[in-house]
Every structure is written in C-alpha cells, then in structure tokens.
Amino acid sequence: MILMGNATLNNLDFHWLAFVHKKLILSGADLYKTQGVKMCAETSDLFRSVRGGQFISWSCEKAEKKDQAQGMDVCLSSAQQPACLGEAAGRLEAAEEGTVQDDGTGGSPGDSKEMEPCLHNLQKFVPTDYASYTQEHYCFAGKKIIIQESIESYGAVVWPGATALCQYLEEHAQELNLQDAKILEIGAGPGLVSIVASILGAQVTATDLPDVLGNLQYNLLKNTLKRTAHLPEVRELVWGEDLEHNFPKCTSYYDYILASDVVYHHYFLDKLLSTMVYLAQPGTVLLWANKFRFSTDYEFLDKFKQVFEATLLAEYPESSVKIFKGILKWD
C-alpha cells in the first residue's frame, strides 16, 4: 500500500478513483505491472507535499527476502526534483558530450546539426504535472525503453494496441521499409510507438492533445536522444481542428500514419476519421491497431472501410487487438 502523508485510500481524490475504475472496466489485462510509483506535487492539497522547493516522491520496492514470503511491500520516501525538469536538461548536455543512455546503450546518433532544431522543439513543451507516475519497461528492436506513465490521463498510458503495433513494426521493419520513412502518429500518448518507429530508423512526428505533450516529449527525449538517427518531432494535433493551417498538404506528406487505441467510447470518432482522411495522401499507408471493446469500435471500423481500402494485417485474440492497413480510396 502506498502512503501519501496522512492520506489513506478512503480519502483519495474521487476523479482518480473514477479513472482507475474506468480502466478496470475496459479490461483488467490493460493494467500492466508497475515497477515503481512516484508521487509529485499537484494543486490538490491531498497530493501536495513540497519541502524546501523539492518534490517528495515515493518508490515502492519489494521488502527483503525475510519479508517477501509474506508479500510485503515497503514504500521508501525520498526528496528529489521532478525528473521531467532536471533530467531533460542533463540529456541535452549529454548530447553535446556524446555520453550514452542510462542503460549503457548508445545507438547511431544523427548529425548534431540535424538534431539541434529537434532538441529545441522537444524542449518547448511544459512538463506535464501529474500527481502520480509509474515507469514501465519495454524492449523492442533490441533497445530497452522506459516509459513514464500516469493513470490520471488516458493519454498518458500505454494501451494494448500500442504494444501490438510496436511488435508488428519490429517484426516487419524491412518489409515496411521504415528506414528514413516519414511517419506521423495520431494520439501518440506516452510515445511508445513513436519511440519504436524512431529506433527502427523513421523520421517521426508524434502528435496528441496539448495536455499530454509534456509527458510525451519527456519520454521521447529520454529514449531517443543519441540512440536514433532522427529525433522525433512533437506537435499538437486536435482531431478535426485547424488541419489545413497546422498541417498544410503541400508540406505535410507522410509515408505512414500510425494510430493505436484511438478508437474507444468517446464523442470524437467522426473527427478522428476526418483527420485520418485529411492526413492520408496518395502513397500514404495508415496502420491502425485497436483493442475492440465496444460496439462503437466496430461501427467506426465500418465507416473506416467506406473511405479506406482496409486489410486486416494481424490479430491478437488474447488481447482482442486487430491491426489494419488502410489506403485512402480516391475517386
């Protein structure tokens, strides 16, 4: 059990509990094992715990062997600055010094002159200040990937469709010819798919709503700096809004549009489809992975097939995830 000052589970924020409840309803399998939990300051008095200008964080780790038999968890508290503020700056310095990542891997960095504008772009978003974080560990394309997540936002969690799409990209990298391919991801969330595509050599533009861009850029910077030939770009994309202004067709051509678990029970499915149609140009391939949970998911699929030549590429029955390839129909 995680202790938060004098707070107990009984007086946790209602919205936080509501989100956990929604996530459990979607699928118990959607909740991944947590390696650690970090509590950062929030405007709510319940979560605020700041001392001397530092954030108080907690990490949960297994007790020593004598206690492991009883299944006891020990929560250790430590004071530190939020990683999304201090660590990113350190990694920018590391880029100039040529140091390697935390896991000791280096990778094939791109030209420093090419990286510079991308680094500045990654820095321009304000880090997202969630009250709680988890760190999830993945391995794709031979690289260890650490994703900072928060269950406070749908857009800050890795969902099953994302891991399935990453697996598909890894297994079919040569067939898809991802090296130097221009890719845009819709609803990138915490960024796992964009990170894997970048590791596989693609030039990636990761997009999402404004409130998740801070956490997205943190994860991208943490996992791609000095490890990929091209640093991914982070851009705001609100489905169906200002598309011609923000993504003019004359300068916004992409070989692939990627999307994972963007279809669920929300009110913006029509805007999502119109965004997919707008971004797809002649030659663009849309790869969409989704866990099918609701009847509305299948209704969206029917509409998708009306405007895209759709092919089922892969299916994962254990997670109810399907991956479709879409080519826009041209009159």
Show the tokens assigned to 159. Answer: 């969902």
| Model pTM score | 0.67
Whether the predicted pLDDT of 267 surpasses 80: yes
Q: How far apart are CA 221 and CA 32, in angstroms?
A: 23
Q: How far apart are CA 12 and CA 1, in angstroms?
A: 13
From the list 186, 128, 135, the residue with the least C-alpha distance to 153 is 128
pLDDT at position 259, please?
A: 98
Q: 3-class DSSP state for residue 251?
A: coil
Whether the predicted pLDDT of 275 surpasses 90: yes
Residues 203-234: tens digit of each pLDDT: 999 999 999 999 999 999 999 999 999 999 99
Angle at 234 between CA 148 and CA 107, to 5 degrees: 65
Q: How far apart are CA 87 and CA 242, in angstroms?
A: 33
Q: How far apart are CA 221 and CA 230, in angstroms?
A: 11
Q: Using the Cα atoms of residue 41, residue 43, residue 48 and residue 50 in order, give the sign of their dihedral.
A: positive
Q: How far apart are CA 163 and CA 330, in angstroms?
A: 31
Q: What is the residue-averaged pLDDT of the chain?
A: 72
Provide the CA 45 distance to its chain's centre, in angstroms.
28
Query: 191 versus 107: which is more confidently predicted?
Result: 191
From the list 144, 324, 279, the residue with the least C-alpha distance to 222 is 144
Confidence band, pLDDT 50/70/90 cuts, at residue 44: very low
Q: What DSSP state is assigned to residue 48?
A: -
The full set of domains in the chain, from first to last, is 86-126+159-328 (3.40.50.150)
Please report, as a single letter, which amino acid is at residue 128. Answer: T
pLDDT at position 265, please?
A: 77
